[in-house]
């Protein structure tokens, strides 16, 4: 069977538990969430939305910055992720709403000071989400989100300069080919799914003003990359593999690396605003 769908696969208990364990053990989601929350300037906020909030890693970062009287609403369409999140993040200021990102404005009151979305906007119907964000934000309210470097077509210099050997993804494909006769499907050369030019136009069409962008680098290790690829929705390669087979391939590929080998992931960070 094919890998878990990037949307439907999240609403599975095994994925939710594995993801939550990863966020507790490794810094990637905590660090990116903290970065976005600080960019949103939340110190005087009254209402903040954590969009595609999953198990609450970003909500935690938001809660650390907003006033004691603020309200935070975490919106995600995966009930399994939110079940785990409710167990981990306990704060009376936090409300969980199970809904699609595109339906944000139907579930959240208008007048939000900020909407924060970590590692997920490219999985949505982006024009619809941007229109919903515009409806929810107060004039002057901020929308802060990031786009994975591969989806945005950007690479931080650190990602290029840190490479010391084949990536874990490349090793996975090699093991799959050697042990399982895997032939990767031919993928035609295409433009990035959500480049800066595309997102700039879509923000403008939604009535949002682009304030700034930055390509950032998230530094981690091969051990963290392996743990991330062990989460069912991220397990590779695609094709007719069971999850057990994918973990066998991952473990064999990982043997060809060392746990402390540095890895770098690039992100395009975008700050937009509803005009005054």
CA-closest candidate to residue 235, choices 247, 225, 224: 247
pLDDT digits (tens, 9 = 90+) for 162-202: 877 889 999 999 999 999 999 988 766 677 889 999 999 99
Predicted pLDDT at 162: 82
Instruction: Please give the structure tokens belonging to residue 115.
Output: 């909407």
Contact of 142 with 41, CB cutoff 8 Å: yes
250 to 15, 63, 203: CA distances (angstroms): 17, 36, 38
| pTM for the full predicted model | 0.93
**pLDDT 10s digits, 251-272:** 999 999 999 999 999 999 999 9
Residue 114 pLDDT > 50: yes
Whether 124 shows a pLDDT value over 60: the answer reads: yes
In the structure, how many helices (H) and strands (E) does the chain have?
A: 11, 7
Phi, psi of 213, deg, nearest 5: -140, 155
Q: Which tens digits make up the pLDDT trace of 231-249?
A: 999 999 988 899 999 999 9
How far is residue 38 CA from its own chain's centroid?
Answer: 17
The listed CATH number (3.10.310.30, 3.40.50.150, 2.40.30.20, 3.30.450.20) that belongs to domain 8-156+188-219+264-273:
3.40.50.150
Report the Cα 252 to chain-centroid distance in Å.
27
**What is the pLDDT confidence band of residue 6, given thresholds at 50, 70 and 90?**
very low
Name the pLDDT band for 94 (thresholds 50, 70, 90). Answer: very high
C-alpha torsion sign, points 126, 211, 38, 138? negative
Start-to-end CA span in the chain (Å): 49
In 3-state terms, what secondary structure has residue 110? coil
Burial level of 44, CB count in 10 A (0-12/13-18/19+)? exposed
**39 pLDDT higher than 70:** yes
Could you count the other beta carbons within 10 Å of the beta carbon of residue 35?
A: 19
Each domain of the chain, given as residue ranges in start order, spans 8-156+188-219+264-273
pLDDT at 222 > cutoff 90: yes
pLDDT of residue 1: 33
- Judge if the upstream peptide bond of residue 36 is cis by omega within 30 degrees of 0: no
pLDDT at 185: 83
pLDDT at 192: 87
Interatomic CA distance for residues 247 and 250, integer angstroms: 5
* Position 4 confidence tier, pLDDT thresholds 50, 70, 90: very low
Output the pLDDT for position 59: 98
């Amino acid at each position: 069977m094919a890998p878990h769908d990037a949307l439907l696969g999240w609403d599975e208990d095994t994925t939710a538990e594995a993801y939550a364990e990863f966020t507790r053990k490794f810094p990637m989601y905590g660090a990116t969430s903290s970065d976005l929350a600080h960019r949103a300037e939340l110190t005087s906020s009254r209402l903040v939305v954590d969009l595609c909030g999953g198990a609450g890693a970003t909500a935690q970062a938001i809660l650390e910055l907003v006033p004691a009287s603020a309200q935070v609403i975490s919106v995600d369409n995966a009930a399994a992720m939110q079940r785990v999140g409710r167990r981990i993040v306990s704060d009376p200021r936090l409300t969980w709403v199970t809904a699609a990102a595109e339906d944000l404005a139907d579930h959240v009151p208008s007048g939000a000071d900020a909407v924060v979305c970590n590692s997920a906007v490219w999985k949505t119907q982006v024009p619809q989400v941007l229109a919903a964000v515009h409806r929810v934000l107060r004039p002057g309210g901020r929308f802060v989100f990031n786009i994975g470097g591969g989806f945005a077509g950007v690479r931080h210099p650190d990602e290029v300069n840190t490479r010391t050997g084949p990536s874990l993804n490349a090793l996975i494909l090699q093991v799959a080919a050697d042990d399982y006769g895997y032939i990767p499907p031919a993928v035609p050369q295409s433009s990035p799914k959500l480049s800066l030019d595309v997102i700039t136009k879509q923000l403008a069409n939604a009535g949002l003003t682009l304030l700034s962008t930055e390509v950032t680098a998230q530094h981690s290790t091969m051990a963290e990359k392996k743990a991330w690829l062990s989460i069912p929705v991220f397990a590779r390669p695609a094709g007719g593999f069971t999850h057990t087979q994918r973990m066998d391939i991952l473990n064999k590929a990982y043997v060809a690396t060392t746990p402390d080998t540095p890895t770098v992931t690039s992100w395009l960070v975008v700050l937009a605003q509803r005009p005054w």
